[in-house]
Structure 1
Amino acid sequence: MAIISLTTDFGEKDHFTGAIKGAIYSETEDVKIVDISHSVSPFNVQEAAYILKNAYKNFPKGSIHVYGVDSERNPDNRHIAVLLNDHFFVGADNGIMSLVAGDRKPDKIVEINIYNDLDTIFPAMDVFVKVACHIARGGTLEVVGKPVTELKSLRTFTPIVNTEQNLVTGHVIYVDNYGNVVTNISRQLFENIRKGRDFELYARNYRFDRIYTKYSDIVNFAVEKPRRDDDGRRLAVFNSSGYVELAIYRSNLETVGGASSLLGLSYRDVVTIRFL
């Protein structure tokens, strides 16, 4: 049974999420639909890419991933279907797939051309569903589109390394459910530039000189638990996706807040690492 995943900015209030699922089952009942997220911030392609990139690798090969974020078709925003790493992706060529692919080159890209006289303001349901279900039934990409060679690239989200190789400038790309702030500085880039040097990480007026490998590394377990005062401490950590993340230990957005609120950090804010 084919798997079709959904990543959108539709939210849960409106009918869109239910409608797209109904459209899939109307096309073919022999599929399993998996929701990755419908809580992507509206039109935030970087956030969508981060979520999709870190989720799809856990699906079986051959899975089909529909992403509905900034999907309206226009001369600057074509629709594509992509075969990448034995997974299929269907959505708009708005930079999401270039961020998902990273350094990996897609095996196949087609520009979808099944519109005929179709004029839709809901392409995720009227176009992406048809393509995804076609693939789920064993159809090829060439039937739904013409081959293209390149994806739209979002270079503005790539960290910048200065010529002296002692300063990395990155940005906040995602704020998670705990208020943790994820940057676009990968552990691989950090280690490649660091070369064993000490460093200082700055975000607004906050300084970090250590990046942990897990959240609880900040706790001194040699101290008796009643005497510890670790909750609410800020830290930098390499998260499970391999990116530098700023967090508040055991944060709770509904009570004490998280790194995003307590440190005043939000999407696209600058984070720098200076190597000493």
Structure 2
Amino acid sequence: MAIITLTTDFGYKDHFVGAVKGAILSNLTDINIVDISHAIGPFNIQECAYILKNAYRSFPKGTVHIVGVDSEVSPENEHMVVQVDGHYFVSANSGVISLITSEVQPEKVVQIDLPNSRPTAFPVLNVFVQVACHIARGGKLEVIGKPLESLKEIRDFEPRITNEGKTISGNVIYIDNYGNVVTNIQKSLFEAYRNGRDFEIIARTTKIRQVHQSYNGIVNYNLERNQRKGPGDALALFNSAGYIELAIYKSDLNSVGGASTLLGLNYRDTVTINFL
């Protein structure tokens, strides 16, 4: 059975998610519809890319992914389908796909050009659903459009290397449900410049000098409980997506707070690594 996933900034209050699912089912009764997320921040391309990049690989090849963030068509934001890594992404050329495919070369990029199609305020419903269902049926991309030469790239969130390789300056790209703060500094970049040196991670007034492999890596179980670090302490780790993440061990945004609130970090804020 074919699979279509949905990643949008629609939220759940309005009719949008339900309308999109209904339209898919009206076109294809034998289909699996999977919600990846509908809680993306409005027009937040970086957040959308982070979530989708780390979710799509868990789906089987041939899955069709509808991306409903900043999807209104314009001369600078074309509708397109990108075939990459055996998956199909139906999206606007907003920069989100270039972030997803930063490490994988797209196999095919097609600009959507449906017959008698007109600009609409709800392109996910009126355009993306038609295209996704066509692909899910086994339809060819050449039928729904023409080759698109290039993907729009977003470069303002790339980590910066300064001080003759002694400093990496990154940014917060995502804050999760626990208030954990994900930076755009990947483990591979960190290790490439570390060269065995000690380091400090600076986030506003907080300094961290160790990166763990898991959240409970901060706990030294050889010590007595009253001597251990534990709940409420700040830590850094390489998360499951391979990025440096700042967290508060066993945090809860609804009570004690998380890294975002306790460290005072927001989307786009700077996090710096100095090699000593």
The change in CA–CA distance for 1:172 and 1:2 in structure 2 (over 3 A counts) is same
Q: Which runs of 5+ in 1 are unaligned?
A: none
Instruction: Report matched runs for 1:52-131 at 5 Å.
Output: 52-114=52-114, 116-131=116-131
1:29 aligns with 2:33: no
State the partner residue of 1:6: 6
Instruction: Report matched runs for 1:38-53 at 5 Å.
Output: 38-53=38-53
Give the number of equivalent residue pairs: 276
The change in CA–CA distance for 1:163 and 1:145 in structure 2 (over 3 A counts) is farther
Alignment partner of 1:105: what SS?
Answer: coil
Higher alpha-carbon deviation: 258-267 or 220-229: 220-229
Deviation of the 1:198 alpha carbon: 1.1
Deviation of the 1:118 alpha carbon: 2.2
- Alpha-carbon distance in 2 for matches of 1:67, 1:117: 19
Alignment partner of 1:157: what SS?
Answer: coil
Deviation of the 1:226 alpha carbon: 6.3
Q: Which runs of 5+ in 2 are unaligned?
A: none
Alignment partner of 2:164: what SS?
Answer: coil
Q: Counterpart amino acid of 2:184?
A: N
Q: Deviations over 1:46-89 (max 9, x none)?
A: 00000000000000011000010011111111111010000000
Higher alpha-carbon deviation: 207-216 or 116-125: 116-125
Instruction: Tell me if structure 1 keeps the 8 A contact 2:220–2:229.
Output: no
- Alpha-carbon distance in 1 for matches of 2:116, 2:188: 46
Cα RMSD of the aligned pairs, angstroms, is 1.2
State the partner residue of 2:142: 142
Give the TM-score, by structure 2 length: 0.97
Q: Counterpart amino acid of 2:28?
A: T
Question: Percent same amino acid at aligned positions?
Answer: 57
State the partner residue of 1:238: 238
Alignment partner of 2:156: what SS?
Answer: helix
Alignment partner of 1:127: what SS?
Answer: helix
State the partner residue of 1:19: 19
State the partner residue of 2:263: 263
Q: Counterpart amino acid of 1:4?
A: I
Higher alpha-carbon deviation: 125-134 or 115-124: 115-124
Instruction: Tell me if structure 1 keeps the 8 A contact 2:73–2:119.
Output: no
1:202 aligns with 2:202: yes
